[in-house]
Amino acid sequence: MAPAAAAADATKLSVSGAALAALLACCGSADGDSDGLLFGVASRAAAAPPSFYDDDDDDDQARASSGPSLSISVAGHASVAQPSSLADPLGRFTRSSYSPDPSAAVGFFSSSRRRSPLRPSMREAALARSLSKTLVLAHPLVFLLVAPSSSAAGLSVHSFDYRAFLLVDFRLVPSSLSVVNAGPGFREQYHAFAPESPLPSLPEQPVKQGYSIGEQKALDGMVEGFGLERVGSMVTSASALTSEMEEMYSGMLRKLEGLARQVERSNERVLDQSITAR
Amino acid sequence: MTPPADTAALASTSGAPLAPLVAAQLNFVLSQANLPIRVGQIWSGCRDGRYADRFTLAIPFCLDYVYWDFLYNALSPKVAPDVVFGPDDEGFQPLVDFDETGSGEKSCLANWDCRDTSALLSLIKELREFYIEYQKKRAAEVDDARLKFEISTVLSKEGIEVCTVSSNGRPDEVKFAVPLLDLDLAKLVPGCPWKLPQKIHLQAVFPISRSYSSVPSAPRLKLVSTPDLKSFFSVDDVKLPPWLDGMCMAEYLPNLEENLKIQVVEASASIGSRRRFIEALAPTFGRPLEADPVHFVIPLQFPKHQPVLTLESSQHFNAQGLPIMSAPVNDYPWSPRWDPTEMVERIYDFLVDECQTFKKFCSDSIPQQK
């Protein structure tokens, strides 16, 4: 087996059923070709448990060389539903102004109606390399090639052909993609799941007069002096997170406390009135 | 190789017309390319399928074709097309090479102008050049000492193409297409109607030897000519010089080319002598000869080979109601050194006698049918 293929085999690539469905729906409803980024989590699983049996030496060597296996899980996608929104004609990654921040991406997808069995095109191959250089990933870049059914088949039935690739040694190597659905058959996957996905970065702080007076009031009422800047800076700077959060919660609790007291007092007054009325 | 497809017949499988800007570029390729490029399937990449915007092209390479899919986008006609190469060419990534060498700005893709009708042809030419280089590189990587030597000695020859032929994902042959004779063949044939440049190639297929001990076997050699050339010179009639043990192409080619050159020059001389022969036929055969037509088949090797004659009866018919024909005659007295008039007179004299034999043959064959 070629080393690249072995490396691709050591990587377990999965996608949640919902994320895949959303991606296919997006590709199928686009008027033509589209492409976009894929987001998700990559985690390095612990080394395989030691074998209890006296296996052949070959087997041990194979296990030792494969090392800890890597699992990449695709959780969602972002697309502007336009052809070649990610690359220039020479296949170099370009970030358009309205595309999401690519730093959390694990790869990209490309959707186009083709006739031949699914193979990366010359531009996709170049984009994979260019994107992997930009992202500086610790795992192989994921590329999902989607081919929606051709229009000749009629619009009532949609079929999709898709194939996953991993960029190993600058080559796109076909990889199997397991779809993770809800249900007893997939319980193992959920038990192994750890919610460690990084928070997506929030959009840049809009200019101050972005809110109407009414909106501003409502916001202020909700957060008691915590403006959007303060919340935004809380989310982006993780160090100050805990103390700031506690302060916000205690502020909210103080307000709740005040409200409770008010209700208590008004209740007492109502009670007094009803007593005096007798 | 077959001639280019009719440009008028560009219709997709679904019947949708090609997007106008794409059609203009494709028509330019089919009418202006000096290579016999053919169009395969045409289809649409849009959901509504209104315009077709992608197609497969068969592009000549190494005396064969490679099939590449060109994907335009009818919804964004300004965007340059993307290309999907053949299943065995995953290592062919011209854009990645651009990125590595920094030469991308020189590519026609860098300044793509969708209104330039020659844009697609420029792209095909550019990619085909890169593909030839890519295949040369692949062939040079083959681990076979004899092939390494062949490649190092002949690969610099202009216009040479080479490719590896794989079976089961492993290269087991290397195929060379060597252009022969640095002659403009069109100049040898006055008034020729050829649109594309005509060329004779030597195809040499070398098996890759896996063992170092065995004596490398001889390559399979074959002459291939462009189709229009066949009316002028048939490469199938050329006897190839033998390939001796331990020979290499650099030794073999000069001998072959010299040999071939003589035959091509003879063939072009033959055109003139055939014309003079036909002109000489008129005064003699213009007179009726027993009123029976005579058919002349003049070989390409004329006058070395004499014309083949067939007599056709105008009075006797076979059971199917067709005129009785004689067997082809090519064993009559002949010398290539006679001048055309003498050739014609000798044939005439021969036929005067032959007619009597043929008449008897016809009369004899009729009672047998009854």
pLDDT digits (tens, 9 = 90+) for A192-208: 655 555 555 555 544 45
**CB–CB of A125 and B95 under 8 A?**
yes
This prediction has a pTM of 0.72
State how far the Cα of B20 lies from the Cα of A159, in Å rounded to an integer. Answer: 29
The Cα-based distances of A188 to A40, A46, A178, A180, A193 in angstroms read: 19, 16, 14, 10, 9
Burial of residue B161, with CB atoms counted within 10 A of its CB: 0-12 exposed, 13-18 middle, 19 or more buried: buried
Looking at residue B301, what DSSP letter applies? Answer: T
Select the residue of A31, A32, A126 nearest B99 (Cβ to Cβ): A126
Task: Tell me if residue A192 falls in helix, strand or coil.
Answer: coil
- Judged by a CB distance cut-off of 8 A, whether residue A170 touches chain B is yes
Select the residue of A30, A151, A171 nearest B44 (Cβ to Cβ): A151
Answer yes or no: do B27 and B158 share one domain: no
Number of domains in chain B: 3
Select the residue of B79, B83, B90 nearest A83 (Cβ to Cβ): B79
The type of residue at A230 is R
pLDDT of residue B343: 87
pLDDT of residue A202: 53
Select the residue of B13, B14, B75 nearest A31 (Cβ to Cβ): B75
Identify all chain A residues contacting B83, using CB atoms and an 8 Å cutoff: 121-123
State how far the Cα of A7 lies from the Cα of A169, in Å rounded to an integer. Answer: 9
Q: E strands along A24-69, which residues?
A: 34-44
**CB–CB of B95 and A126 under 8 A?**
yes
pLDDT of residue B227: 81
Phi and psi angles of residue A42, each rounded to the nearest 5 degrees, phi first:
-115, 135
Domain range for B270 is: 141-283
Within-domain flag for B101 = yes
**CB–CB of A33 and B107 under 8 A?**
no
pLDDT of residue B123: 95
Query: Residue A104's CB: how many other CB atoms inside 10 A?
Result: 17
Of B120, B150, B185, which residue is a domain's last? B120
What is the phi-psi region of residue B169: left when phi exceeds 0, alpha when psi lies from -120 to 50, beta otherwise? left
Helix axes B119-140, B20-32, angle to 10 degrees: 60
pLDDT of residue B7: 43
- Judged by a CB distance cut-off of 8 A, whether residue A115 touches chain B is yes
CATH code given to domain A3-191:
3.40.140.10
Within-domain flag for B267 = yes
Identify all chain B residues contacting A122, using CB atoms and an 8 Å cutoff: 82-85, 92-95
- Judged by a CB distance cut-off of 8 A, whether residue A121 touches chain B is yes
Shortest distance between the Cα of A119 and any Cα of chain B, in A, equals 7
Of B233, B254, B283, which residue is a domain's last? B283
State how far the Cα of A142 lies from the Cα of A23, in Å rounded to an integer. Answer: 14
Identify all chain A residues contacting B73, using CB atoms and an 8 Å cutoff: 32-33, 83-84
pLDDT of residue B72: 92
Select the residue of B83, B85, B104 nearest A90 (Cβ to Cβ): B104
Closest alpha carbon to B226 in B256, B265, B186, B253: B186
Answer yes or no: do B256 and B156 share one domain: yes
Number of residues that this document lists for chain A? 278
Average pLDDT on B19-37 reads 91
Closest alpha carbon to A163 in A227, A109, A223, A242: A109
State how far the Cα of B251 lies from the Cα of A84, in Å rounded to an integer. Answer: 52
pLDDT at B134 over 90: yes
Answer yes or no: do B92 and B149 share one domain: no
pLDDT of residue A249: 84
State how far the Cα of B367 lies from the Cα of B370, in Å rounded to an integer. Answer: 5
Answer yes or no: do B159 and B256 share one domain: yes
Answer yes or no: do B48 and B105 share one domain: yes
User: Structure tokens of B357?
Assistant: 């034999």
**Four-point Cα dihedral B361, B365, B366, B367, nearest 10:** 120
Using CA coordinates, name the residue in chain B closest to A31: B47
Task: Tell me if residue A106 falls in helix, strand or coil.
Answer: strand
Exposure string over B298-324, b if 16+ CB within 10 A, otherwise e: bbbbbbeebbebebebeebeeeeeeeb
Residue entry with tokens 């920094």? B102
Within-domain flag for B207 = yes
Model confidence at B27, pLDDT cuts 50, 70, 90, reads very high
Specify the DSSP element, H or E, that contains A152: none
Answer yes or no: do B230 and B252 share one domain: yes
Of B259, B283, B307, which residue is a domain's last? B283
Select the residue of A32, A116, A120 nearest B74 (Cβ to Cβ): A32
Answer yes or no: do B336 and B350 share one domain: yes
> Splitting chain A (278 residues) into consecutive groups of 10 residues, what average pLDDT does each group show?
63 88 86 87 64 46 53 84 75 73 84 85 92 87 87 64 90 89 68 57 52 65 64 63 78 88 89 78
Give the least confident one: A41-50, B68-77, B238-247: A41-50
pLDDT of residue B2: 42
Within-domain flag for B130 = no
**CB–CB of B96 and A125 under 8 A?**
yes
Shortest distance between the Cα of B41 and any Cα of chain A, in A, equals 9
Q: A–B: how many Cβ contacts below 8 A?
A: 119
Average pLDDT on B197-222 reads 82
pLDDT at B274 over 90: no
Phi and psi angles of residue A166, each rounded to the nearest 5 degrees, phi first:
-120, 140
The type of residue at A221 is G
Shortest distance between the Cα of B165 and any Cα of chain A, in A, equals 20
pLDDT digits (tens, 9 = 90+) for B343-361: 888 888 888 888 888 888 8
Select the residue of A31, A90, A115 nearest B47 (Cβ to Cβ): A31
State how far the Cα of A82 lies from the Cα of A98, in Å rounded to an integer. Answer: 12
Answer yes or no: do B159 and B275 share one domain: yes
**CB–CB of A83 and B73 under 8 A?**
yes
Model confidence at B50, pLDDT cuts 50, 70, 90, reads confident
State how far the Cα of A111 lies from the Cα of B75, in Å rounded to an integer. Answer: 14
- Judged by a CB distance cut-off of 8 A, whether residue A114 touches chain B is yes
Shortest distance between the Cα of A101 and any Cα of chain B, in A, equals 23
State how far the Cα of B100 lies from the Cα of A138, in Å rounded to an integer. Answer: 22
Answer yes or no: do B65 and B97 share one domain: yes
Answer yes or no: do B97 and B181 share one domain: no
Identify all chain B residues contacting A124, using CB atoms and an 8 Å cutoff: 82
pLDDT at B6 over 50: no
Q: Where are the domains of chain A?
A: 3-191, 208-277
- Full DSSP string of B321-358: SPEEEPPPB--S---TTS-HHHHHHHHHHHHHHHHHHH
Average pLDDT on B317-330 reads 81
pLDDT digits (tens, 9 = 90+) for A53-83: 444 444 444 444 444 578 888 888 888 756 6
A23 and A75 Cβ atoms separated by less than 8 Å: no
* Range list of H helices, chain B: 20-32, 94-101, 119-140, 145-154, 185-188, 249-285, 340-369
pLDDT digits (tens, 9 = 90+) for B76-128: 888 899 999 998 888 899 998 888 888 888 889 998 998 999 999 999 999 99
- Judged by a CB distance cut-off of 8 A, whether residue A277 touches chain B is no
Could you tell me which residues are beta bridge partners of residue B166?
Answer: B171
Answer yes or no: do B95 and B28 share one domain: yes
- Full DSSP string of B60-99: EETTEEEEEEEE--TTSTTSPPEEE--TT-TT--HHHHHH
A74 and A40 Cβ atoms separated by less than 8 Å: yes
Shortest distance between the Cα of A154 and any Cα of chain B, in A, equals 9
**CB–CB of B43 and A113 under 8 A?**
yes
